[in-house]
Amino acid sequence: MGNRLSYLMRRLAQIPFVLAIVTITIFSLIHVTPGDPIQIMLGMQTSPDAVDALRKQFYLDRPLPIQYFIWVKNAVRGNLGKSIRLNLPVTRMIAERLPVSLKLAASAMLFALLISIPAGIVSAIRRNTVVDYCFTGFSIGGLAIPNFALALLLIFFFSIKLDWFPITGIGSSAGKDVSLWGAIAPFILPAVALGAQQTAILQRLLRSSMIDVLSQDYIRTARAKGVPGWIILVIHALKNALIPVVTMVAIQFGYLIGITITIEFIFAIPGMGFTLLTAVVNRDFPVIQGFTLTIAIFFILANIVADVLYTLIDPRIRY
Amino acid sequence: MKRRKAVEKRQSNGEKNGITRRTFIKGAAAAGGMGMILATGIPPALGTGKKDLVHGIFGGDPGNLSPVIRHDTAAGIIIRNITDNLVMPNYKTREIMPMLAEDWKNVDPLTWRIKLREGVMWHKGYGEMTAEDLVYTWQFHLDSKSWQVRTAFWPLDSFKVVGKYVAEVKLKQPFGAFPGVTMGYGGMVVSKNAHQEIGNEAFKTNPVGNGPFEFVSLKANEVVLKKNKQYWQKGLPHLEELIFRSIPDSHVRLQALQKGELDFISHPDAKDVKKVRKDPSLAYQSTPGWTWDYQLFNQLKDFPYQNKLVREAISYAIDREAIRDEIYYGEATVTDNQIPYGYLGHRKNLLRYPKNGDLEKAKELMAKAGCKGYEVEVICSDKDWLRRELELVAAMVSQIGIKYKIRNMDIGSFNNLWLNRKFEQLLEDITIVAPDPDATVWWFLHSKGSCTAGYNDPGMDRMLDGARAESDPKKREGLYHKIVDQELVDNPMIFHVNANYVRLHKKGLEGFESAPQEYIELFHTARWTS
């Protein structure tokens, strides 16, 4: 316990350094990329006075290192600046959009778990059979198809042709359908499109992990002792086989927050990715920095959670 | 041993010690449903019935809805339904028509007097609109150095209230485009009381207007408006609720319309329109837009196109109809005219160059210029249709010996090169916003204009300044004809097409009039008849 706590403290202490590297990298990259947000926003016919005033307002008239330190100084006080394009506080934009992305990522992960766990188990116990080959084929397909392409295919078949699910509606207060189905339905296609790759990753991971565990001596011993198959599978095998999966789930959840861009764009979901993409096109520096910082924090926290879970699930693991 | 075999048999049958496959699926579905509920929450109920309209608007988050802070086109569409303008163009007669400004007079060359309409009420109980609001708004633009200072308010010297509904404006120099540019482009007024009480920042997400619809809420990519029951145009609007939902992808917008999730969309992908027009549930409106696709030559660079005969040859080499059909699938209007349909000064779309080009004439002009061909880098933003258009144009001009080296880039990088004149030649599309020909020519042809690239003709400058100073619309019209004729000879820019603005909506919606202005989509007269 003491070791775990000290490990956790060490990991938390590393966060500022990791964030410093991330923010410096992002800050440098977006400022090196050609494109002036003020010019993009104001257009060609704006007076130099207006351009200068806006530059001053966003500290863009200062040298880059000074701009960075101003941003960091404000960020540690919880002020991530204002969007150049929308003129709204970035923290407010994050507060509005992060819950939407979290819901989407949670839905995608839920879908991935619902499919990958049974598929991984079946693939492992029916190793090298037609069933296993089918699941493997689907997994490779899930990994190979880009999520935007899958999203468009899903829309075509399940929304347009079969009319089962709506295309848009997440984050909309103007929905007509107030039923339970009306609440869930808009999430299904985005969750499937976003979660397909995670499904494949987790299924493959669980399969190999299960195969490994099922070949262990203690499983053979349990079988020899006549322990019921389901007990062997669930209590002895699955519990141990899930260790790498749980870790991966935590890491992948942080990753999902960062890759929702295309899915949010296609399904018009007003989350982090939707806004981040618009910000990149418009070189809206404060939004890019603030949103990237938030995503980085989530990713780091997800990794820490994964490591902690690892020790909780498998007491043999010590740091 | 027997027990183990039995277990294995059950496993091979998909059973896991009493847990059948069906039970497992049921359990998973139940868990999934619960998870979804926990993850999503349930949206609140809103109105039903066909008294509302959901508009799938292009672009990202609308964000700022203040008329006095720079907003993008998508937000402009929303703002125009919340706040009426002082004037509106009549696209057919090409006249500037009264709206909130009932009358305006050029008292002397440097003085304009504006009489506001009486009885126009601000939303949310902020009282009646008066001249004080107008003066406050324009003064706010000047004080805050807003983006419109250089475009709409640059000629203003001073302004004052001379009556409850009358304001007087003094100019620094005569400006005939005052009704179209200053009152047209800069003609959205804010309530002094509301703006001061709410605050400039908060006003962006809580605007108070005087238009047909009142602001209700802005939630990320969705804006909800409701009917203004005190609207000055009696009996209007017909709709009770107007909802704008940003959907950036044009295909998804169209599919959501076809599926019934939306009632109205604009900017569908041109290649989809032909097929969609056969859909009996949808209605289609297409209007030549106040937009150009054009080539711009950077005359600060040393290239053979410094010779205007070469530029003329390029214009003759362009098959504009092929661009319209191949790139826009017919949803564009061929043009060589810098002044689009609906503007004062517009005559017809093609004034000098044949719609299919004239290759022989182009070659003849190249020979006359003594130019055997050259290679030039042409930049273009990453808009899909422009990339394809540039490839097509490159093939056309290659027939007269000119090789275009195409360089596509994202819009941020493109703007950086364009605005800093760090290019040799470019192809771009642009939307013109102010409803006056001054806006379509002065900035692009005058040596002091911000959108030129080295074109400097004193004669053209004189004509542009003369037309700008003239306030008689008939005289102005003649002057703009001469300007355009000169442009067609000099060709500092070569125009290909005006892309049409296509609007699609469900059948049964009547009273919506499609405008050539991108940000004008007014729903005050729209109603559902079925």
Q: What is the pLDDT of residues B354-402, one digit of tens each?
A: 999 999 999 999 999 999 999 999 999 888 889 999 999 999 999 999 9
* CB contact (8 A) between residue A174 and residue B224: yes
Give yes or no for a contact between A35 and B381, defined as CB atoms under 8 angstroms apart.
Answer: no
Give yes or no for a contact between B45 and B177, defined as CB atoms under 8 angstroms apart.
Answer: no
pLDDT at residue A227, rounded to an integer: 87
| ipTM, two decimals | 0.75
Tell me B401's DSSP state: T
Give yes or no for a contact between B222 and A174, defined as CB atoms under 8 angstroms apart.
Answer: yes
Residue B40 has pLDDT above 50, yes or no: no
Binning pLDDT at 50, 70 and 90, where does residue B22 land? very low
Q: How far apart are CA B456 and CA B297, in angstroms?
A: 12
Q: How many CB atoms lie within 10 A of CB A319?
A: 13
Q: How far apart are CA A1 and CA A271, in angstroms?
A: 38
Give yes or no for a contact between A15 and A300, defined as CB atoms under 8 angstroms apart.
Answer: yes
Give yes or no for a contact between B228 and B102, defined as CB atoms under 8 angstroms apart.
Answer: no
Could you report the per-residue pLDDT of B475-491, keeping only the tens digit for each? 999 999 999 999 999 99
Could you report the per-residue pLDDT of A215-234, keeping only the tens digit for each? 899 988 988 988 888 888 88
Binning pLDDT at 50, 70 and 90, where does residue B524 land? very high
Backbone angles phi, psi at B224, to 5 degrees: -110, 130
In single-letter form, the type of residue at position A222 comes to: A
Residue with tokens 């909780």: A312
Q: How far apart are CA B91 and CA A302, in angstroms?
A: 58
pLDDT at residue B418, rounded to an integer: 85
- What are the chain A neighbours of B61 within 8 Å (beta carbons)? 86, 270, 274-275, 278
Binning pLDDT at 50, 70 and 90, where does residue B41 land? very low
Q: How far apart are CA B427 and CA B396, in angstroms?
A: 14
pLDDT at residue A242, rounded to an integer: 87
Distance, C-alpha B7 to centroid of its chain? 69
pLDDT at residue B24, rounded to an integer: 42
One-character DSSP codes across A138-179:
HHHHHHHS-HHHHHHHHIIIIIIIS--S-SS-TT-S--S--S
In single-letter form, the type of residue at position B477 comes to: E
Q: How many CB atoms lie within 10 A of CB A219?
A: 17
Residue B480: its H or E element: helix B473-490
Both tokens of residue A220? 């053979």
pLDDT at residue A1, rounded to an integer: 57
The predicted model gives B56-72 an average pLDDT of 86
One-character DSSP codes across B173-213:
S--TTIIIIIIIIT-B---HHHHHHH-HHHHTTS----SSE
- What are the chain B neighbours of A231 within 8 Å (beta carbons)? 17
Distance, C-alpha A67 to centroid of its chain? 29
pLDDT at residue A268, rounded to an integer: 87
Q: Using CB atoms and an 8 Å cut-off, which of residues 176-215 of chain B contact chain A? A: 201, 204-205
pLDDT at residue B111, rounded to an integer: 96
Could you report the per-residue pLDDT of B504-513, keeping only the tens digit for each? 999 999 999 9
The predicted model gives B440-460 an average pLDDT of 92
Q: How far is CA A261 from CA A22, A30, A199, A272, B168, in A?
A: 19, 18, 19, 7, 51
pLDDT at residue A44, rounded to an integer: 61
Q: How far apart are CA A174 and CA A176, in angstroms?
A: 6
Distance, C-alpha B511 to centroid of its chain? 21
- What are the chain B neighbours of A33 within 8 Å (beta carbons)? 412-413
Both tokens of residue B205? 């997400």
Q: Using CB atoms and an 8 Å cut-off, which of residues 87-126 of chain A contact chain B? A: 87-88, 96-97, 100, 103, 106-107, 110-111, 114, 118, 125
Higher pLDDT, B240 or A250: B240
Q: How far is A11 from chain B (nearest CA, A)?
A: 29
Could you report the per-residue pLDDT of B259-293, keeping only the tens digit for each? 999 999 999 999 899 889 999 999 999 999 999 99
- Helices A180-214 and A147-154: angle between axes, nearest 10 degrees: 130
Facing B245 at nearest CB: one of A168, A187, A230: A168
* CB contact (8 A) between residue B28 and residue A118: yes
Q: Using CB atoms and an 8 Å cut-off, which of residues 64-83 of chain A contact chain B? A: 83
In single-letter form, the type of residue at position A70 comes to: I
Q: How far apart are CA B54 and CA B61, in angstroms?
A: 16
In single-letter form, the type of residue at position B476 comes to: R
Helix (H, G, I), strand (E, B) or coil at A305: helix
The predicted model gives B187-204 an average pLDDT of 95
Q: Taking CA atoms, what residue in A is nearest to B451?
A: A44
* CB contact (8 A) between residue B255 and residue A228: no
pLDDT at residue B43, rounded to an integer: 39
CA atoms within 13 A on the CB side of A23: 26
Q: Is the dihedral of CA B7, B11, B16, B19 positive or negative?
A: negative
Both tokens of residue A24? 């410096």
The predicted model gives B425-435 an average pLDDT of 91
B304-308 long-range Cβ contacts below 8 angstroms, 24+ apart:
B304/B369, B304/B371, B304/B374, B305/B376, B305/B425, B307/B369, B307/B371, B308/B489, B308/B490, B308/B491
pLDDT above 70 as % of chain B: 91
Of the listed ranges B58-72, B208-222, B312-326, the least confidently predicted one is B58-72
Q: Taking CA atoms, what residue in B is nearest to A223?
A: B4
Average pLDDT, chain B: 89
Facing A173 at nearest CB: one of B24, B219, B252: B219
Residue by residue, pLDDT tens for chain A (319 residues) are 567 788 788 888 888 898 899 889 988 888 877 777 777 666 666 667 777 777 787 788 888 889 899 989 999 899 998 888 777 889 989 998 899 999 999 999 999 999 999 999 999 989 889 999 998 888 888 888 999 999 999 998 999 889 899 888 777 765 556 677 878 888 999 999 999 999 999 999 999 999 999 989 998 898 898 888 888 888 888 888 888 888 888 888 888 888 888 899 889 888 998 888 888 877 888 999 999 999 889 888 888 888 887 777 777 776 6
Q: How far apart are CA B238 and CA A196, in angstroms?
A: 45
Question: In terms of DSSP H, where are the helices of A77-146?
Answer: 90-125, 130-144
Give yes or no for a contact between B212 and B238, defined as CB atoms under 8 angstroms apart.
Answer: no
pLDDT at residue A60, rounded to an integer: 82
The predicted model gives B46-57 an average pLDDT of 77
Q: Taking CA atoms, what residue in B is nearest to A157?
A: B255
Q: Which residues of B498-509 are buried (b: 16+ CB within 10 A; e: fewer)?
A: bbbbbbbbbeeb
Q: How far apart are CA B340 and CA B345, in angstroms?
A: 9
Q: How much is the pTM?
A: 0.81
